Every structure is written in structure tokens, then in C-alpha cells.
Amino acid sequence: MKDTVEPYVTDDGRTIGGVLMDMRNITLRFGGVEAIKDISFDIREGEIRAIIGPNGAGKSSMLNVISGFYNPQEGEVWFRGEKRPQMKPYQVARLGIARTFQNIALFEGMTVLDNIMTGRLTHMKSGMFWQALWVGRAEAEEVENRERVERIIDFLEIQAIRKTPVGRLPYGLKKRVELARALAAEPKLLLLDEPMAGMNVEEKEDMSRFILDVNDEFGTTIALIEHDMGVVMDLSDRVVVMDYGRKIGDGTPDEVRGNQEVIDAYLGVSHD
Amino acid sequence: MTAPAPGGENSVPALLARNVAQHGNKAAYREKEFGIWQSWTWAEAAAEIDALAAGFLTLGANVGDHIAIAGRNRPALYWAMVAAQKAGCVPVPLYADAAAEEIAYALEHCGARFVVAGDQEQVDKIADIRDQLHELDHVIYLDGRGLRKYDHTHMTSYADLQKAGRAAGNMAEIEKRTAALGPDDKCVMLYTSGTTGRPKGVVLSNTNVIETSKNSAEFDHLRPGDEVLAYLPMAWVGDFIFSIGQAMWTGFCVNCPESAETMHTDLREIGPTYFFAPPRVFEQQLTNVMIRMEDAGRFKKWLFDKYMAVGRKIGPKILDAEPVSGMERFQYRLADWLVIGPLKNTLGLSRVRVGYTAGEAIGPEIFDFYRALGINLKQLYGQTEATVFITQQPDGEVRSDTVGVPSPGVELKIAENGEVFYRSPGVFVEYYKNAESTASTKDADGWVATGDAGFIEEGTGHLRIIDRAKDVGKMASGALFAPKYVENKLKFYPDILEAVVFGADREYCTAFINIDLTAVGNWAERNNIAYSSYQELSQHPRVLDTIEAHVAEVNKSVAADEMLAGCQVHRFLVLHKELDADDGEMTRTRKVRRRIVEEKFDDLIAALYGGQSEIYTETEVTYEDGRKGKITATLAIRDATVVNAGKVAAE
């Protein structure tokens, strides 16, 4: 069991640190519908944490709570040892949380490079005025940020499409560009909403490799939602299983796989 | 021009030292990384090389050890080759896209103790085969991404090895080993892809490489300040000669693209002055230009057609320094201003002073197109065993149907059966650990069999190649059978990517055709033809109609040559998959392995000669990661119009 908060080293040599984010008794309602019912779990520094569950289980709602887009009616969100107050999404972004979307949300008319540059926004300090005039700190900042973006482009192997407008790219590449933009923010915590949705086997393999490499190379903590069970089990250190807004399992992939409730949820035993 | 070497410069490291002394702070290598061209001067490159050579010593590299290099073109990997030489070792570059078992064969055969690998992909391939390789000691990797968790007991990063080298203080030993390099010592070992059988390790000496580089550089007046783009496989002899041999001899700059996919962008940014490409690269560029012009507006299309016609008429004349009237010169200048100049710029060929193509025959239209643009595109004929150069075309004597005159220092002779033999300072030392093949290829006087059949044209002295000597055969009627001759004619159509013609000892010839997905796919799009896969497109009746028309035209042109009229294609089919090196159907340099294709698709050949109008077939395919799959298809077989076949056969 890995319930202790002592740092430990995984079988493949990565160090998993203390608790980065702690979700305590979260309940989220839309009118009379309870999308999330009293769920608690934590995300530890350096780990890949998956949230899985059948359609409508409340996975995306959970991700939106983490990203600050939804405010839960009950419960507390603790981030880096502090209770997080109600926040606007941009404030959450400044805390070091970045995300990708299930339905790609890129600027279609802009080039790949410019899209990724927008991810650097939270790191730019010069105002619009100075940037428009291109003087003083604005230029130095642009150069520095461009360099970081170029490293991400190199890392995700998208050099060939650097100057291509995003609208012209195939789906799989758009997903990669979205990951690049999220990475550009240098997040402490990276949220991926169904990163493999709609991909073929080869694209899934590529994406898995990139997710592992991001985690390994930058030490980024990753929380992801995914449908594809195989992928999740291979990638993640720990898995939260949701069904009808409740948490029905939490643990290592092996533990979760052996959990009767999880098996029932996936194989479709009647709920009463 | 570089002054002749003042003695003692009989190794690549010696040339490097000379370049550092003569123009130490000029750019020697560039690589695009992180979106910016990074560059290294000769002095900087030499320092990197020294550090790595010293690093090899700390790993216990002995004189004569083989050091394999696997990865895409990067300055650091070129340095690794020179560093290996400085440490008294022999570099063995390998094809980066080779499958694990191909790499295993080469590493095992040469007994490499060290491998310098470009990235995780290469490291993984070596890890897969590690237990078969008893002599392999250490792997040095360049890009450490994804490798952090690997067991590092027999693995070091390139940078760490250099650091160890700098700290070791063993430069005296390095200098001693470098100074000991003699003209007859091994310079490099290159594995030939070989259209038949196992690859062979061709050993080239320092003399081979340096003499050839010197001769060929002088032939084309290469000079410091020239720029090349290094994008062809490092394991190919041509790249070794261009990016190491000639670069070191003349002191020009080697530019490495950011990745294989960005090659065309990088080409445009660098604007090389000396450019080499196999015909397929030129073909692809031309196809892309034509496709885009089809989609252009009417005015632009008109402008393009009008001024390309001017270019076609006058461009080659200017290149060949033939008399051109003032009016023509004015017209060409106008064409250059309006169409040719911008087009060349888009292709990245604005500055090309010397361009070469080799490896396969190039279609006359393609050749003429580039010559019309005023690009000095020439052909050369060579092979690994000759250290590239056998014949090449001098400026002003360029034609699409010959491969030129013997290169400086090369003697040619044609055997009775038509096979071409040569003797030159570039003739290889031996096939490593294969005395038998060495003896059957190279005789005691140093004459080497090329395996190609050809003849020397009277009057001009140019060599013309007909076909691979062993492929030239007889048909059942006794008529000459030269498949390559027909295949090349077929391949000149942009729609046709590859063709394989059969007919030895048969009554008539038949052919397999591979369509070119870019060209045919674009045509389908413009004609509102829906298709969901390569296979479906390849069997579309209208595609088959087009191909049938091409075959008929080729037959007409083949029939014009009395000697080869028997080689007309009577029946053909369009293959449901592209011939692929991963399936063993082609070599890594994309030459068709005829025997393997013949064996693998024997059912299709039987159907071609059996008179059926279609055939169901199952084919095993290998994916890039080595897994296998199966595809099934029903292929249509068509008859093609043949000219006067009866008359010729009756003779």
C-alpha cells in the first residue's frame, strides 16, 4: 500500500513526493443533480494519477473542479498545503495548473508556434502597451519565452509544423499541439481531459510516450481522465474510479483491477 | 580552390587540423535546433572531436576497434566518425531506419565494441539485440530523452563521455594515434545495402577517400564557402564523401536539418551551393510544383506555362554556354524575374552551383525541368566499392541518357557480355571478412566488376548504362530482355512510383506497377473520386485506365528500339501495397529487390501469365515497429496495347 505521505521511489526509478493536491469531501450539484458525491482523494507530487469511470460518472466535472472552473458546493480543495479559495480559472492557471480539453480548444487561425506561445502568457510580465511598441522588457521576454517554447516543440517533435496554421492539422497533431500549449505554462500540475480520445493505435502509443516523457523529464505531476482502460493501466501510478458521481475505487492499477465494484461498474451490473 | 595538401595530409583528422589552421573561425557545421541555426567553427568542431576521442580512450578503445554510428544526420555524429579515427578506430555508420535484426547483423559482423546512437529509438533497437552481441561494450547516446531510467552500467551520454575525455588528459595518446594514421589504413567501413543477399562491409582506406574527394572536388571546383545540406543516410557512401571527405578536403560547411520532415524548409533556409539528391527527391519536388500549379489561378498558370516554355528553350543553352541571341537572353531574364527566380527560391535551389543526381535513372522531363530553371543538374554513376565516383558529367556536357565520362583517375573497360569494369584510386580495399566476395568482385589487377551492363558511346566517350548485368537476359524467343530499361520509362510518369517488369525466359513481358499516392491522390481529389485507402485507389477503374494508357505509350517507345522491342509489356497489374524496405522488397536506398519480389508475389506472376482477369491475394506486411500484419486484396489484371509484337517475334 502506498498510503503514507512519505516520498517513495517507484519501480521505474521516479520519486513520488508529498501531497500536491488534496480533494476533501467534494460534492458538486447542478440544480438537483449531484454530479459528484462526497469524493476525497489526493494527487501526489510527481505521479501520474488517472480518473476513470463509465460515461456520465462525473470525471469531467471532477477535472473541472480541480481546474477551478466549477466550484463545489461542499468540500475543500487543498493545493500545496494550503486551502484554495474560490478562484477564477486564470487565477488557477497562475497557481501552476494547466489543462487540455476533450474537444480541442486551440486558436484555429493561428500557427502552432503562436498557439503554444499563448501558453506562456502567465509568464509574461510586460503589459500590452510595451509589447505593442516592442521595447524594453517586451523584446527580451519574447526571446526568452520563444526559447522555452522551442524546447517544447523539439520535445514533442512538431518542428515540421511550427509555422502551420492549426486549422490545417489532422486531429492527432492538434492534440499534441494542445499538450504543447499546456506544457508551455510550465505547470506544477497538468490536467489532461481524454488525451487519447479519437486516436488510432499508433497515435495513442505516441501520446502515451509523450505523457510518460513529460512526467519523467520535467517532473510534472499529471492528472488525466481516460476511457481507454489499457492505456490508463499502463500509464498511471494510481487510479481513482468513479461511477454515478461516487468514488468506487482508488489505488494502484493492480488494486483497482481486482476491485469487485469496479468490475461491476464496467461490466454493467444493475444498480439499485 | 584549396592548395594541394603539403604532404602528410593522408587522413581525415589531418585534414581537419589543416582546416583549423587555415580557417579556424569559419563555419564548419550548422544544425537547426530549437528553431535556430546553431553553428560551429572548424576550431570548435575540432575541440568537440578531441574531447570525444579522448572519451573513447577512457572507455578503453583500442587501435583498430570498430565504432558504429546510428542516427539521423547531426554534426555530433559526424564528429563521432572523425573522433573514432583520431582514436585509431574505424567508424561504421549504420542506416538509422534499419530494423533491429539488420543492425544486429552489421554489429555482429564487424564486432563493434562501441555504438554511438542518436536517440532512444536507436538505443532501444540495440537493447533488443544486446544478448546476441558479445563484443559490444558500451553505448553512447546523443539525445538522452527518455533514457534516464535505463541501466547505465554500459551506457553513457555523449556529453558525459566528452567531459570524461576532457578530464582524462590523454591527448598525447590521441595525437600519437592520429599521427600514426597512414594512407593504407582503414578510413571507414560502409555496409552496402545489396539488392541480393546479406549486406557486405566495404572497407575504404584513407587513400580511397582522400584521393577521391580531392579529384571530385577539383572536377567541380568546390571551394571553402560552399554549403551542403546533409540529409541523406549517413551510412550511404555518398554522404560520407560529400559531408566528410569533400567537406574536409575543401573546407566547406555541412548543414544538418532539424528533422527529416523539415528537410524542404531547411533546404530553403540554407540555400546550398552544392546539392545532391536521388532522382526521387527531384521527382517529388516537381510533382509538388505541378500539383500546386494545377490548383493555381488561371493567370498564374498561364504565366507559369509561358515562361517555363521560355526557360526550357533557353535555360539549357545558357548552362552549356552555347551561343544565345540578345533577344533570347532578354526573354530568359524576364522569365527568371517573373517565374524561374521565385520558383527556384521556393525550392531552395537559388544558389545551387553544382547539383548531382545518381542512384537511379532520372526521367528526361524531370531533368529538363531543372535545367530549364538554370540549375546545373548533372548525373554521376558510382558505387560504394568505387568510393562513389566512376563516371560523372562535366559542365557543358550534360544529358539525361548518359552518366558521363570517367571521373578523374578512373579507367573503364567493357567486358564481352557488356558488363562495365573500372579501376581507380577509389577502389575499395576489401569486403570485411569476406575474401571470397572480394576476389569475385575485384581481380588481381584492381579491376572491379560493377554488375551493370552498359556501353561507351562513340564520339562523346560518355558511358550509358542499360541495366544490371544479371538482370539482362533473354526471352523465350531469344530477344534481349532488359527490365530496367522499361521500368525507368514507366517510372518517368508522375503517376507511377515503382514498376517491376518480368519476362526472362517467357513468351512476353508483364509488369507490377506501384502508383504514386501523392500524384494519383491529388488527381482523384480534383476529379471527385472518393477512396478510403491506398489499396482502393490503386484498383479504381479510372486509375487502371490511366496506367493502361501509360503502358501503351511506353510500349510504343520501346518498340522504336529494334533490339528491345520484345520487352513491351503485354499484361500488367497495379499492386495493392507500396513496395517497402521494411518488407524486404526494397533496399534501404530504395532499389527493388527483384528476386524477393518475384518469390513473394509468385501467385500474382502466375496470374499474369495465366490469362486471368483478376486475382485474389494475401500479403504479409511488416509495420515500422517490426510487428507483422496481413492484407488481402483482389487485383485486376489488364492487357496493354502492344505495337507490332508479331512482326518482331517472327524475325
Question: What pLDDT digit, counting tens, does each position of A200-259 carry?
Answer: 888 888 899 899 989 988 889 999 998 777 888 889 999 999 988 899 989 998 888 888
Do the Cβ atoms of B448 and B430 come closer than 8 Å? no
Q: Does the distance separating the beta carbons of A162 and B259 come in below 8 Å?
A: no
Nearest of B439, B398, B443 to residue B422 by alpha carbon = B443
Cβ partners under 8 Å of residue B29, min gap 6: B39, B40, B45, B75, B78, B253, B254, B255, B256
Q: Write down the H helix ranges in B418-511.
A: 435-441, 483-491
Taking an 8 Å Cβ-Cβ cutoff, which residues of chain B contact chain A? 33-36, 145-146, 148-149, 258-259, 261-262, 265
Q: What is the pLDDT of residue A4?
A: 53
Q: What is the pLDDT of residue B335?
A: 93
The single residue listed with the C-alpha cell 481513482 is: A240
For residue A150, give the nearest of B35, B259, B261 by CB distance: B35
pLDDT at A1 over 70: no
CA-to-CA distance for B15 and B592, rounded, in angstroms? 38
> What's the average model confidence in pLDDT over A146-158?
91
Residues in chain B with CB shorter than 8 Å from the CB of A162 are 35
Looking at domain A8-96+187-267, its CATH class is alpha beta
Q: What is the pLDDT of residue B364?
A: 79
Do the Cβ atoms of B319 and B374 come closer than 8 Å? yes
Q: Write down the H helix ranges in B183-297.
A: 206-219, 237-240, 263-270, 279-295
Residue type at position B115:
V
Question: Is B551 in a helix, a strand, or coil?
Answer: helix
Q: Does the distance separating the beta carbons of B35 and A153 come in below 8 Å?
A: yes
CA distance A102 to chain B (A): 26
Q: Does the distance separating the beta carbons of A155 and B149 come in below 8 Å?
A: no
CA distance A214 to chain B (A): 9
Q: Does the distance separating the beta carbons of A153 and B149 come in below 8 Å?
A: no
Q: Say if domain B473-650 classifies as CATH 3.30.300.30.
A: yes
For residue A216, give the nearest of B34, B149, B261 by CB distance: B149
Q: What is the pLDDT of residue B148?
A: 80
Beta carbons within 10 angstroms of residue B395's beta carbon? 15
Cβ partners under 8 Å of residue A59, min gap 6: A51, A52, A53, A225, A242
CA-to-CA distance for B289 and B300, rounded, in angstroms? 13
The single residue listed with the C-alpha cell 576489401 is: B430
Instruction: Give the CATH fold of the B12-205 domain.
Output: Rossmann fold (3.40.50)
Question: Could you tell me what percentage of chain A is helix, strand and coil, using 3-state DSSP and rounding each to the nearest 5?
Answer: 40, 25, 35
Q: Does the distance separating the beta carbons of B262 and A216 come in below 8 Å?
A: no
Residues in chain B with CB shorter than 8 Å from the CB of A217 are 145-146, 148
Domains B12-205 and B279-468 share a fold: yes
Considering just the CA atoms, what is the radius of gyration of chain B in Å?
Answer: 26
Name the pLDDT band for A89 (thresholds 50, 70, 90): confident
CA distances from B541 to B503, B545, B547 (A): 25, 6, 10
Residue of A159, A210, A212 best to disrupt the B interface, most CBs of B under 10 A: A159
Q: Does the distance separating the beta carbons of B261 and A213 come in below 8 Å?
A: no
Q: Write down the H helix ranges in chain A.
A: 59-66, 89-95, 112-118, 128-133, 137-155, 171-184, 201-218, 229-235, 253-257, 260-267
Do the Cβ atoms of B255 and B269 come closer than 8 Å? no
Do the Cβ atoms of A53 and A46 come closer than 8 Å? no
> What's the average model confidence in pLDDT over A63-78?
90
Beta carbons within 10 angstroms of residue B358's beta carbon? 24
Share of chain A above pLDDT 90, in %: 36
Residues in chain A with CB shorter than 8 Å from the CB of B146 are 209, 212-213, 216-217
Name the pLDDT band for A22 (thresholds 50, 70, 90): very high
Mean pLDDT taken over chain A: 86
Beta carbons within 10 angstroms of residue A75's beta carbon? 16
CA-to-CA distance for B163 and B141, rounded, in angstroms? 14
10-residue stretch averages of pLDDT, chain B, 651 residues long: 53 94 94 92 96 95 94 96 96 91 90 94 91 90 86 92 93 93 93 76 94 93 93 93 95 94 91 91 86 88 92 88 89 93 92 88 82 90 92 88 90 88 93 89 90 86 84 82 87 88 91 91 89 91 94 89 84 92 83 88 91 87 77 90 60 36
> Which residue(s) pair with B633 in the sheet?
B617
Q: Does the distance separating the beta carbons of B146 and A159 come in below 8 Å?
A: no
Cβ partners under 8 Å of residue A214, min gap 6: A155, A179, A183, A190, A220, A222
Q: Does the distance separating the beta carbons of A216 and B34 come in below 8 Å?
A: no
Residues in chain A with CB shorter than 8 Å from the CB of B265 are 160
Taking an 8 Å Cβ-Cβ cutoff, which residues of chain A contact chain B? 12-14, 146-147, 150-151, 153-155, 157, 159-160, 162, 209, 212-213, 216-217
CA distance B69 to chain A (A): 22
Inter-chain contacts counted by CB atoms under 8 A, chains A and B: 36
> What's the average model confidence in pLDDT over A53-63?
87
Query: Which of A72-86, A145-159, B486-500, B636-650 has the weakest average pLDDT?
Result: B636-650
Residues in chain A with CB shorter than 8 Å from the CB of B259 are 157, 159-160
Range(s) of chain A covered by CATH 3.40.50.300: 8-96+187-267
CA-to-CA distance for B560 and B238, rounded, in angstroms? 36
pLDDT at A3 over 60: no
CA-to-CA distance for A183 and A178, rounded, in angstroms? 9
pLDDT digits (tens, 9 = 90+) for B493-530: 888 999 999 988 899 999 999 999 988 998 898 889 98
Residues in chain A with CB shorter than 8 Å from the CB of B262 are 159-160
Instruction: Give the CATH fold of the B279-468 domain.
Output: Rossmann fold (3.40.50)
Q: What is the pLDDT of residue B260?
A: 87
Domain ranges of chain B: 12-205, 279-468, 473-650
Residues in chain B with CB shorter than 8 Å from the CB of A211 are none
Residue in chain B closest to A156 (alpha carbons) equals B145
CA-to-CA distance for A67 and A60, rounded, in angstroms? 10
Name the pLDDT band for A269 (thresholds 50, 70, 90): low
Q: Does the distance separating the beta carbons of B35 and A146 come in below 8 Å?
A: yes
Q: Does the distance separating the beta carbons of A216 and B33 come in below 8 Å?
A: no
